Amino acid sequence: AQIADLIRRNRFRDALQAAMGIARLGNKYMTEHEPWKAYKTNPERTAVILNTCIQVAANCAVLLEPFLPKTAAKLQGAFGISQPTWSDAASDMVQAETTLGELPILFEKVEAEVVDAQVAKLESARAEATGGRAECEPQKEIMTFEDFQKLDLRVGEVVACERVPKADRLLNLTIRTGLDERTVLSGIAEHFTPEEVVGRRVTLLVNLAPRKIRGIESQGMVLMAETADGSLRFVTPEEGTQAGDVIR
């Protein structure tokens, strides 16, 4: 009655726990009374123990049906139980002198190799869902809102671009910022040609302290996104934005 009431109130987890609690009690009862030993000295007592265990298992075959319908059906078939109802539970469901049917294997042992294969499959699915990364790059140290306000991000437009001599990774970009046109070096030469970059709108950090690279002063930083395979993509402002628009 308690389990049926829990199911009616949609408390399925509690109902399952209650049903499994009965199964655990039955298992504890059999373990403590050891019918395989009692049979040698007290066959009549052994019959009582086994009958109790059978009745508990038969009741579990009814109580667990909403959660394990196929397993419950196998148990009911072995005990000769036909179309049981909730009201049948908590009673002797298997009558005396009933011939029990053959009980098939209810649960197969799961080998470690099968578990490992399933774990690998889940990890592969997770990596695919995250674009190929098994794990995202860890978050960096928290900064204050005041620190964030110091960043001056603006839409820039690349008006010229050329390779930096003797530097395989560097491109020399001339970017219109709305404030001026400035030189910005970017390590994207392995991913883009100068021709592919000219005319692009980019996200630019304009108040980064200038620094000299290969004798050329770079006055800002173009923001890029790195994908799972290590390639780079521009963080491109949407259509309708123009050089100098502030990114907040």
Which tens digits make up the pLDDT trace of 198-213? Answer: 999 999 999 999 999 9
| Host domain of residue 171 | 145-247
Are 78 and 8 part of one and the same domain?
yes
Residue 123 lies in a domain: no
Report the distance separating Cα 2 and Cα 19, nearest Å: 10
Question: What total of structural domains would you count in the chain?
Answer: 2
For residue 214, give the CATH number of its domain.
Answer: 2.40.50.140
- Give the confidence band of 132 by pLDDT, cuts at 50, 70, 90: low
What is the model's pLDDT at position 106? 84
Among 54-68, 118-132, 174-188, 190-204, which is the least confidently predicted range?
A: 118-132
pTM tops 0.85, yes or no:
no
Per DSSP, the residues of the chain read: -HHHHHHHTT-HHHHHHHHHHHHHHHHHHHHHH-HHHHHHH-HHHHHHHHHHHHHHHHHHHHHTTTT-HHHHHHHHHHHT--S--GGGTTS--S-TTPPPPP---SS----HHHHHHHHHHHHHHHHHHTTT-SSPPPP-----HHHHHT--EEEEEEEEEEEPTT-SS-EEEEEE-SS-EEEEEES-TTT--HHHHTT-EEEEETTSPPEEETTEEE--EE-EEE-TTS-EEE-PPPTT--TTPEE-
For residue 74, give the CATH number of its domain.
Answer: 1.10.730.10
Are 81 and 152 part of one and the same domain?
no
Residue 130 lies in a domain: no
Mean pLDDT, the chain, whole residue set: 89
Residue 215 lies in a domain: yes
What is the model's pLDDT at position 129? 67
- Chosen domain end from 63, 88, 113: 88
Residue 201 lies in a domain: yes
Are 149 and 77 part of one and the same domain?
no
What is the model's pLDDT at position 133? 56
Residue 66 lies in a domain: yes
What is the model's pLDDT at position 103? 80
Residue 26 lies in a domain: yes
Residue 21 lies in a domain: yes
Residue 72 has pLDDT above 70, yes or no: yes
Residue 137 has pLDDT above 80, yes or no: no
Residue 60 lies in a domain: yes
- Give the confidence band of 40 by pLDDT, cuts at 50, 70, 90: confident
